[in-house]
Amino acid sequence: MTDTGGDGADTPTPSQGVPQAPAAGSGEPNRPEDHAASPATPPRAWQAPGTPAPPPGWQHGPGHRPDALPPFTAQQPPYQPHQQPRWNPHGLGKPGVIALRPLNIGDILDGAITAIRRHPLLILGIGAVASVITAAIGFVVSKFAFGELQGLAKTVQLGPATTDEELRNAVFGTFGDFFLVLISSTLVSTLLLTVTTGLMAAVMGRAALGREVTFGIAWSEVQPRLLPLLGVAFVYALLSTIGVMLCIIPGVLVWVFWALAAPALVLERGTFREAFARSVKLVGGAFWRVLGVLLLARIIEGVFENIISLPFSVGSGAFSQMFNPGKVVVPSTGDLLLQSAGQIIAGTIAIPFVALVTVIVYLDQRMRREGMDIELARAAGVQPPQAW
């Protein structure tokens, strides 16, 4: 081993592990111990006896910082099962909000809820900003849509005097406007959710290790990649929304295969194209599992939002149409504002929950395929549990 600088002493590299004593009878005399030359702390590549050696070729990526997250680089060695100790409830430990082992659906949902409980101000604050923007855009879009609905109501009120052509134009024009409104609102909500997922990736990257995380720390991780993140969010939102609206199957494929692009971009510090490629690679072979987890998170989000928004919808008179089906009811500005308030309250919790689930799915896929649980345990300073 050549001298690489520093103190000049040969230290074991990750590929070599701990130096072994010379075999008996090899003829090499034992060197006297020099306690004064012994370092006060173990060398950087030191590991406890009996623990598995790091995979060959492992090294920190460029721009490594002591408080950064080295295992999130994309160049990870393949997962090697023989390096894992025997079964343990927390795998290699649980320094943060998730266990360092392949996760099941319950673990993923519990990890998202635990992250919200441990960092409520940070996570709910980000969710509140995203939900306010979503509600504001939804309010403007709704005003436009219900303006068209009011025009349809006037046409219907003409009764027999309305010609078939007038009625047909009013109906198709109104439904066309509603379709455009639906696409635009879905596009905006998906865009904001993807950006929120990128922010939550920075939060979860430290929360998974049990480290302190603040908005400043998370923002410092996201800021250098903010423009690529916005690009990833726009492309993902546009293609998935149009695909789902016009043709279900291609839209679902895009929605699932590119769902992990935002956390891959932030945590691996890659490029725009690399983020999509990494997402496809991680989802490949686990499409149905990832689809099921994401759908379950969206179902929970929808149920929660409906429960929270129900009192606001009742107060705004949104259900009056049920008792008078022959009358077209156009909500007033006050009714729309009341509905928006309910949307903000519900979205403050629901949006971060879905974003955190997506990030944990990303971490889980990397632990399953690339043995990232070993790297996370090393970064967290967790001693792997001994075999039972």
Tokens representing 268?
A: 């691996």
Distance from chain centroid for Cα 213: 16
Give DSSP secondary structure letters for 12-34. Answer: --TTT-SPPPPPTTS-PPPPPP-
C-alpha separations of 224 from 62, 175, 230, 283 in Å:
15, 42, 12, 26
Residues 296-318 have pLDDT tens digits of 999 999 999 889 888 877 755 55
42-46, 261-265, 352-356, 372-376, range with the lowest pLDDT: 42-46
pLDDT interval class at 10 (50, 70, 90)? very low
Whether residue 291 contacts residue 251, with contact meaning beta carbons closer than 8 Å, is answered with no
Which residue's entry shows tokens 């050549």?
2
State the pLDDT at residue 145.
64
State the pLDDT at residue 316.
56
135-144, 189-198, 373-382, range with the lowest pLDDT: 135-144
- Helices within the chain (DSSP H only): 105-118, 120-157, 164-207, 215-222, 226-246, 248-257, 261-268, 272-283, 287-315, 320-323, 333-370, 372-380
Mean pLDDT of 280-290: 95
Distance from chain centroid for Cα 168: 45
Whether residue 321 contacts residue 335, with contact meaning beta carbons closer than 8 Å, is answered with no
pLDDT interval class at 250 (50, 70, 90)? confident
The pLDDT mean for the chain works out to 74
Mean pLDDT of 346-362: 95
240 vs 32: which has the higher pLDDT: 240
DSSP 348: H
171 vs 23: which has the higher pLDDT: 171
Q: Is the pLDDT of residue 321 over 70?
A: no
Distance from chain centroid for Cα 139: 27
Whether residue 370 contacts residue 364, with contact meaning beta carbons closer than 8 Å, is answered with no
State the pLDDT at residue 173.
54
Q: At what angle do helices 333-370 and 272-283 cross, to 10 degrees?
A: 70
Residues 150-180 have pLDDT tens digits of 555 555 554 555 555 555 555 555 555 566 6
* Residue 6 phi, psi dihedral angles, 5° rounding: 90, -135
State the pLDDT at residue 50.
44
What letter represents residue 53's amino acid? A
- Taking the whole predicted model, whether its pTM rises above 0.85 is answered as no
State the pLDDT at residue 139.
83
| C-alpha to C-alpha distance for 298 and 387, rounded to whole angstroms | 39
pLDDT interval class at 365 (50, 70, 90)? very high
Residues 56-76 have pLDDT tens digits of 444 444 544 545 455 455 545
| C-alpha to C-alpha distance for 90 and 297, rounded to whole angstroms | 23
Q: Is the pLDDT of residue 379 over 50?
A: yes
Q: Is the pLDDT of residue 37 over 70?
A: no
Residues 76-88 have pLDDT tens digits of 555 455 444 444 6
Contacts of 352 (CB under 8 A, 6+ apart): 116, 123, 124, 126, 127, 130, 196, 200
| C-alpha to C-alpha distance for 378 and 383, rounded to whole angstroms | 8
Q: Is the pLDDT of residue 27 over 80?
A: no
Number of residues written out for the chain: 388
What b/e string do you get for 297-317 counting C-beta neighbours within 10 Å, with b at 16 or more?
Answer: beebbeeebeebbeebbeebe
